[in-house]
Amino acid sequence: MLGSSLHLQAQTAEQKNFNINKEGVAIDGYDPVSYFNGEPKLGDKDMFYKLDGITYWFANEANKKKFEKTPLKYIPQYGGWCAYAMGLKPEKVKVDPETYKIVDGKLYLFYNFYLTNTLKSWNKDEAKLKTSADKNWDSIINK
């Protein structure tokens, strides 16, 4: 138990707020650049890049190099949490990494489990939800 507490204290602010697995890998190991190529792909654990203590995996060297040059272009919004849920309230909700949308050059991920696909709900009121999600995310990261 003590080890868990020490581990949490050692996390960076980004790690505490970002949707990562126990090994610190973002997007369940999906290559963030691959979304912008039109199809999300699982990355290779041996082809990785660390940014602010968060590990990103890549499907190929070209995607890794693109990410290294401009990482903020590829990092998912709202720490990789469900954009729709963030639009409703400042809450971190898991995502299906294959349910996504790119809006104005930014990657948004969505919950899609148990017959509930929040991307469909997001699409019905995207402008309002995005504005609300931006405010809610700010309240989380500025705590």
pTM exceeds cut of 0.85: yes
pLDDT at residue 14, as a whole number: 60
Token pair in block for residue 121: 């709900």
Coil, helix or strand for 56?
A: strand
CB 107 within 8 A of CB 76: yes
pLDDT greater than 50 at residue 139: yes
Question: Taking residues 29-57, what's their average pLDDT?
Answer: 96
CA distances from 68 to 5, 19, 29, 33, 72 (A): 32, 20, 16, 10, 9
> What average pLDDT does this structure show over 45-74?
96
* pLDDT tens sequence across 95-112: 999 999 999 999 999 999
Q: How confident is the model at residue 12 (pLDDT cuts 50, 70, 90)?
A: low
Q: Report d(CA 73, CA 36) in Å as an integer.
A: 10
